[in-house]
Structure 1
Amino acid sequence: MDLSTLTHVIAARQRSDLDALGPTVVPLAGGSELFADPRTHLEALVDLQTFGWPALTITDEGLEIAATCTLAELSRLPMQPGWVAHPLFYQCCTALFGSFKVWNVATVGGNLATSLPAGPMITLAVALDAELLVWRGSGSGSDEIVPAREFVTGNMTNVLAPGDVLRSIHVPLASLQAQTAYRKIALSPLGRSGAVLAGRVGGAAPGGDDGAFVLTVTAATLRPVQLRYPALPSIEVLACDIAAIDCWFTDAHGAADWRRAMGLLLGEEIRAELASAATNAGGRS
């Protein structure tokens, strides 16, 4: 869709170019969501792609994903030794409601910043305990590290203030080395996700336990919900905790009670899969 009220696009090449951001000037990354609806209040865009940030950077501490990294680039992330969680990247990319053409323009940062409940990059970042680097605006020029699980606050709401820019996503090495499991369901084969869940065993947050179990529930809830346990929980404990989630919601892609039921079903499937994987790994050691 054309944004007919725009008068110019600013090619950002240094951080000071972001000073133009405000109520009528917003960041442009891929634009797959920005150009999806009329936004008659907008007068200009600040193009983040011209910063030239490397899409993916592998370090000794883990993985750095630029906010401008496209889903197509992320889906081609090469496997690294010990990265047991590697399949989760492609799995979450496939949860995007869009064709391969959208993959080539939609960005990881844009998906997070849009903060739709069904945003699969939200699932990925929260499930892997990622940390988000936010460049704060309002002339402060300051940086803030925000845990991914705290970034999205509701349906299309997050911690970004006007003028802020999501710069990058850091995935810690411990999470990349963890065993993961993934489930998605929608009302139609090509429909927007009604529920997306991801589980992880091992790779706990600092101070955690190598046997920790983490379950992330998204798309079915207004904001991502993470359940954490020091070890694999029982069927009953996990079901009770999923049932107690208080932000299931209803829209055209699913009713709240159906989403709750799918959360219970898929959550137990993930628990059982990771329990089996842990048993098999123990048998091989």
Structure 2
Amino acid sequence: MDLAWVESHRNATDRGSLALAPGEHLLAGGTWLFSVSTPEVTGLVDLTTAGWPPWEPLPDGGLRLAATCTVAQARQAPWPDPVLAGQCADALLMSSKVAAAATVGGNICLGLPAGAMTALTAALDGEAVLWTPDGGERRTPVAAFVTGAQTVDLRPGEVLRAVDLPGAALRAPTAFGRASLTSHGRSAALVIGRRDPDAVVLTLTAAVPRPVVLTLPPEPDERAVRDAVADAGAAVGWYADVHGAPDWRAAQTARLAVEVCAELAGVAA
């Protein structure tokens, strides 16, 4: 879409340049911003010129993904096991051209229930690193940063700088399950399991308005898994749109959760 109402564009070069004037909006990949009508946006501030490396190693063996890291770059990051990142990237059903522009930070900040970068980073205990307008920093789990369908805990003047993924979560075995109404449709239910030394951690997305993280015993029985999923859905509500009815999403999420736990059963953490 042509943004005929945009009157200015400037490059971000340092923290000071991220302060927005009235009508200005941060721009990263632009794959969402350029696809919708946003007449209130009269100026763009380009984050991709800030010079943030797509990824950086953390002291504990973890990984920092910059907010401007593209989906394509995230797939190529130095993961201990790249399978989960590839599965989540594929779940977005993007062309290679879009994946080369769409960013991890943009996908998370949109707060879409089917946001697969949200699912990936929440499932790996990701922590959102937020630059505050006073020059400080605020941190919050990605699972708490997305508070509902297209709502996030981004306060006035804040900028998502990066997501930090701890080394222990990156090294843990994972399993992935996804359901859609069609073979190439948007995710209607997505479950990621992670096998920790003393627990199985399930992250539910797509079928719920915000990420839900469940911590279960190392080898939970099917009834315990189904009950935990049902309780989670009752607490936050099952999401509904043209990509799936709430009761169907609930059933698919429960099925996927059972399958993911079965896949992780007996796997050494």
How many Å separate the matches in 1 of 2:138 and 2:189?
30
Partner residue, 2:85: 89
**Alpha carbons 1:211, 1:232 under 8 Å: kept:** no
C-alpha contact (below 8 Å) 2:201/2:215 kept by paired residues = yes
- Paired with 1:4 and 1:175, the residues of 2 have a C-alpha distance of 45
In structure 1, what residue type is equivalent to 2:224?
V
Distance 1:260 1:21, change over 3 A: farther
User: For 2:21 and 2:220, how far apart are their aligned partners in 1?
Assistant: 46
Q: In the alignment, is residue 29 of structure 1 matched against residue 28 of structure 2?
A: yes
- Report if the CA contact (8 A) 1:186-1:193 is conserved: yes
Shift of 1:150: 0.5
Which contiguous aligned blocks of 4+ residues in structure 1 show a shift greater than 4 angstroms? none
Q: Is the 8 A contact 1:21 1:27 kept in 2?
A: no
1:196 aligned residue: 190
1:164 & 1:59 partners in 2: Cα distance?
23
Look up the match of 1:184.
178
SS in 2 for 1:183: strand
- 2:127–2:142: 8 Å Cα contact kept in structure 1? yes
Shift of 1:277: 2.9
Tell me how far 1:19 sits from its aligned partner: 1.3
TM-score (norm 1): 0.89
Counterpart position of 1:133: 129
- Mapped contact 2:206–2:239 kept (Cα < 8 A): no
Q: Which residue of 2 aligns with 1:116?
A: 112
Give the TM-score, by structure 2 length: 0.95
Structure 2 unaligned blocks of 5 or more: none
Per-residue deviation, residues 87-110 of structure 1 (Å, max 9, x unmatched): 111111111132111100000000
> What is the alpha-carbon distance in structure 1 between the residues aligned to residue 258 and residue 216 of structure 2?
14
1:42 pairs with 2:41 = yes
| C-alpha deviation, 1:231, in angstroms | 2.5
- Structure 1 residues 196-225: Cα deviation after superposition (integer angstroms, max 9, x where no partner): 1100001xxxxxxx2211000000101111
Tell me if structure 2 keeps the 8 A contact 1:96–1:192: yes
What are the Cα deviations for residues 47-81 of structure 1, in whole angstroms up to 9, with x where unaligned? Answer: 000101000112332101000000111111234xx
**2:95 match:** 99
- 1:96-143 residue CA offsets vs partner (Å, 9 max, x unmatched): 132111100000000000110000011011100011101123xx2221
What percentage of residue pairs aligned between the two structures are identical?
42
Which residue identity lines up with residue 41 of structure 1 in the other structure? E
1:55 & 1:182 partners in 2: Cα distance? Answer: 24
Q: Specify the code of the residue in structure 1 equivalent to 2:262.
A: A
Count of residues paired in the alignment = 265
> RMSD over aligned Cα, in angstroms?
1.4
* Code of the aligned partner of 2:241: D
Distance in 1 (alpha carbons) for counterparts of 2:49 and 2:21: 15
Q: Is 1:51–2:50 an aligned residue pair?
A: yes
